[in-house]
Chains A and B, each alone.
Chain A
Amino acid sequence: MTDPRTIAPEMWAPLHPADSAPATSRPSLTYWQDARRRLWANKPAIVALGFIILLILGAIFGPWFSPYSYADQNLKLANIPPAFETYAVDDGQGGTTRFFLNASNFNLYEVDAEGHVLGLLRGGRKDMLKKVQPFTFGATTVTLDYKTLPARLLTADGATISPSGWSWNRTYLFGTDQLGRDVLVRQLFGARISLTVAFVATLVNFFIGIFYGGLAGYIGGRTDAIMMRIVEIISTVPLTLYVVLLMVVFDSGLYSIIIAIGSVFWVDMARIVRGQILSLKSQDYVAAAKTMGAGTGRILTRHLLPNSIGPIIVTLTMLIPSAIFIESFMSFIGLGVTPPLASWGTLTSEAVETMRAYPHQLFFPAAAISLTMFAFNFLGDGLRDALDPRFRK
């Protein structure tokens, strides 16, 4: 038994530096490092971010690589699907003609072996009574019979020709619309319009909202009460209704819709900013800044706004999909961009007109807008989880 008051000399031996302080804490991270780490761990949000970046790149650079422009019409090649069943007919002189049948407008289009669309085939006289039309390929004659739907192709002895295979459309990857415009380039152009409207309008909302909400929150008192009453009055009626009214006054077009959305949707942002400022302005560092003689502008821009940036960014990400939605909604009911400009809304409403005969035309704009909305929603959720201090672990 040793005396507990004496310390054995070996107990004074210095610890090896490596096993000194056990790692009880992880490296300290700044707010942004932490947020980035948590966003990165959120797989759906990262996939969404990747999709959005791809979409932006496609919208900016995609139309440059296309041989067509969004307004080029080719009425001879209207309503061509993105994939088709091909028929091959031997003309009796050693050559074969490949073509496909558009079962909704009863036209035959010549294609090559890879699936490039070469052109419309000219047939013989249409017999309107019997509902048949002959097509001659050298020595062979094929009859298009559309008495009974779906339309069939018959050989001279009355047998039905069956398709020899199917192929993707290599000339128009997404097919063409009712005026023979390339759907792919119109999609990309639509993305350009929708994203431009969304980003610019959101930016306008951002500045108005920050200015309005920041002032109301910082000044407080009667000014705040009046300013927030105005916001309350504005938001009593659905904001979409104001956009509709403004679009009736302006001529429809790209700039009008940006102004209309930008001048209305700031109220949410103003509310968020005001709430943040209200809770932050009684903090000690604000009092310290005030004591040192900082003016209102400096306190707002240097102290209050940077500290409320998290919720502001989250609101921004949520404003973008709603701006995209409003734009496509307005274009859908005919108040958005003017033809021949394409936006996802106009593309959808054009596709609805031909939905009965060409349902595939509806697929691309509907998928584009749905995927984009998904992406922004996931990204917004991810950012909210990453930037909200309450979720910090």
Chain B
Amino acid sequence: MPSYILQRLGMMLLTLWAIVTLTFFLMHAVPGGPFVSERMLAPEIAAALNAKYGLDQPIWLQYLSYLKGVLTFDLGPSFKYPGVSINTMIATGLPVTLQTGLLAVICVVALGIPMGIVAALNRNRWPDTAVMMLATIGVAIPSYVIATVLLYVFALRLGWVPTFGLDDWRGYILPVFALSGFWVSFVARLTRSSLLETFEQDYMTTARAKGLRPGQILFKHGLRNSLVPVVTVLGPVVANLITGSFVIEQIFALPGIGRQFVLSITNRDYTAIMGITIFYAAALMVMILIVDLLYAVLDPRIKLSGAKA
């Protein structure tokens, strides 16, 4: 186990380095400097700005100093907002993104899995059809369409929830719902098919033959075995909630990192784009590692080792 974690950590560092390098050189390949704007700067001012941000140095020196900054958790200053560091930008946005993201994950688990169970237990009867229809809708319709339609119906038409912001608990309902819609549907479908497959296993027949109570059969024998593939997708769920948050935070005007990222793109704030990308990558890899470790705890058949898959 420790060697497995060490190997994973090594892999993570390598991946992170690759992403830092890629984003750094991509952002420096953008034509025009960060201070090219509609107002022409006097050459002295431009030179002073370049010197302040280290842009007068050769590119490999800039790269090395950026790499050093990343290693010491310093993502540098924003080019568009003087005096604001990328660290501050992330720190102000993180709580919002984390709250909605966490609620969405809870939603995925608390809604998706029961929906799948209900569908599997009532196979080919109306609850199954209803769940599968909802799930198909949820998988097919893009999150930004769901978000705008929800916004129109529940905030503008019915006025049940605020149109933007997170001032009270009702503000969370629509963003969390729009964010988790796809994955609730996905997990429901996955739970259903996995449970149906488990029902055909011999040990389920044995459990029934032993005369166990239906609840026991379902929870101790059925669910425990069929939830393994569901846990595997939780890693990608976290990853996709992040990209989903770009547009959801934009639509609902939530001051999270996703909105910050989209704003930096529209502002062409290259250091912010770079910094937030790297932050995303790092956060993601840590979360995927956690999910993988959890997976091993849940499924005793899986032995974590350094061996290659």
Say yes or no: is A238 at the interface (Cβ < 8 Å to chain B).
yes
User: Are A348 and B265 in touch, CB under 8 angstroms?
Assistant: no
Residue of B nearest to A365 (CB): B145
Say yes or no: is A369 at the interface (Cβ < 8 Å to chain B).
yes
- Contact for A373 among B29, B141, B156, B270, CB less than 8 A: B141
Say yes or no: is B39 at the interface (Cβ < 8 Å to chain A).
no
A345 CB to nearest B CB, Å? 8
Task: Tell me the A338-393 residues at the B interface (CB within 8 Å).
Answer: 348, 351-352, 355-356, 359, 362, 366, 369-370, 373-374, 377
Task: Tell me the A223-248 residues at the B interface (CB within 8 Å).
Answer: 225, 232-233, 236-238, 240-241, 244-246, 248
CA distance A321 to B265 in the complex (A): 25
User: Are A332 and B247 in touch, CB under 8 angstroms?
Assistant: yes
Task: Tell me the B237-294 residues at the A interface (CB within 8 Å).
Answer: 239-240, 242-243, 246-247, 250-251, 262, 265-266, 268, 270, 273, 277, 280-281, 284-285, 288
B260 CB to nearest A CB, Å? 13
User: Are A225 and B308 in touch, CB under 8 angstroms?
Assistant: yes
Question: Which of B12-20, B40-48, B66-74, B212-220 forms part of the interface with chain A?
Answer: B12-20
Residue of A nearest to B153 (CB): A359
Task: Tell me the A56-95 residues at the B interface (CB within 8 Å).
Answer: none
Is chain A's binding surface mostly helix, strand, loop or mixed? helix
Q: Chain A, interface size: which category?
A: 20 to 34
A334-B266, A366-B148, A373-B140 as given contacts; A248 in contact with B308, CB under 8 Å: no
B17 CB to nearest A CB, Å? 10
Contact string against A for B residues 76-100, beta-carbon threshold 8 Å, 1 for contact and 0 otherwise = 0000000000000000000000000
- Contact for A237 among B11, B246, B281, CB less than 8 A: B281
Say yes or no: is A176 at the interface (Cβ < 8 Å to chain B).
no
- Contact for B262 among A232, A246, A333, A362, CB less than 8 A: A333
User: Are A348 and B145 in touch, CB under 8 angstroms?
Assistant: yes
Say yes or no: is B23 at the interface (Cβ < 8 Å to chain A).
yes
A233-B15, A237-B281 as given contacts; A245 in contact with B26, CB under 8 Å: yes
Residue of B nearest to A381 (CB): B136
User: Are A359 and B152 in touch, CB under 8 angstroms?
Assistant: yes
CA distance A348 to B145 in the complex (A): 8
Residue of B nearest to A334 (CB): B266
Complex interface: chain B residues within 8 A of A178 (CB):
none
User: Are B152 and A374 in touch, CB under 8 angstroms?
Assistant: no
B124 CB to nearest A CB, Å? 16
User: Are A236 and B284 in touch, CB under 8 angstroms?
Assistant: yes
Task: Tell me the A153-201 residues at the B interface (CB within 8 Å).
Answer: none
Say yes or no: is B33 at the interface (Cβ < 8 Å to chain A).
no
Say yes or no: is A335 at the interface (Cβ < 8 Å to chain B).
yes
User: Are A348 and B148 in touch, CB under 8 angstroms?
Assistant: yes
User: Are B142 and A238 in touch, CB under 8 angstroms?
Assistant: no
User: Are A333 and B148 in touch, CB under 8 angstroms?
Assistant: no
CA distance A77 to B140 in the complex (A): 34
Complex interface: chain B residues within 8 A of A237 (CB):
19, 239, 277, 280-281, 284
User: Are B30 and A238 in touch, CB under 8 angstroms?
Assistant: no
- Contact for A233 among B14, B152, B156, B273, CB less than 8 A: B14
Say yes or no: is A135 at the interface (Cβ < 8 Å to chain B).
no
B60 CB to nearest A CB, Å? 19
Say yes or no: is B173 at the interface (Cβ < 8 Å to chain A).
no
User: Are A333 and B281 in touch, CB under 8 angstroms?
Assistant: no
CA distance A359 to B155 in the complex (A): 13
Say yes or no: is A329 at the interface (Cβ < 8 Å to chain B).
yes
User: Are A333 and B251 in touch, CB under 8 angstroms?
Assistant: no
Residue of A nearest to B157 (CB): A359
Task: Tell me the B113-140 residues at the A interface (CB within 8 Å).
Answer: 136, 139-140
Say yes or no: is B149 at the interface (Cβ < 8 Å to chain A).
yes
CA distance A325 to B243 in the complex (A): 13
A369 CB to nearest B CB, Å? 6
Complex interface: chain A residues within 8 A of B23 (CB):
245
Say yes or no: is B27 at the interface (Cβ < 8 Å to chain A).
yes
- Contact for A248 among B15, B145, B149, B273, CB less than 8 A: B273
Complex interface: chain A residues within 8 A of B22 (CB):
245
Complex interface: chain B residues within 8 A of A335 (CB):
265
A329-B142, A334-B266 as given contacts; A356 in contact with B156, CB under 8 Å: yes
A238-B243, A248-B265, A348-B148 as given contacts; A325 in contact with B251, CB under 8 Å: no
Task: Tell me the B184-240 residues at the A interface (CB within 8 Å).
Answer: 239-240
A246-B26, A333-B262 as given contacts; A241 in contact with B280, CB under 8 Å: yes
Say yes or no: is A143 at the interface (Cβ < 8 Å to chain B).
no
User: Are A244 and B265 in touch, CB under 8 angstroms?
Assistant: yes
User: Hey, which bits of chain A sit against chain B, CB under 8 A?
Assistant: 225, 232-233, 236-238, 240-241, 244-246, 248-249, 321, 325, 328-329, 332-335, 348, 351-352, 355-356, 359, 362, 366, 369-370, 373-374, 377
4 pairs of A and B residues whose beta carbons are closest in the complex = A373-B140, A240-B243, A374-B140, A370-B141
Q: Given contact pairs A249-B26, A369-B142, A369-B145, enumerate 7 new A-B contacts (beta carbons under 8 Å).
A: A225-B308, A232-B15, A237-B277, A334-B266, A335-B265, A355-B148, A374-B136
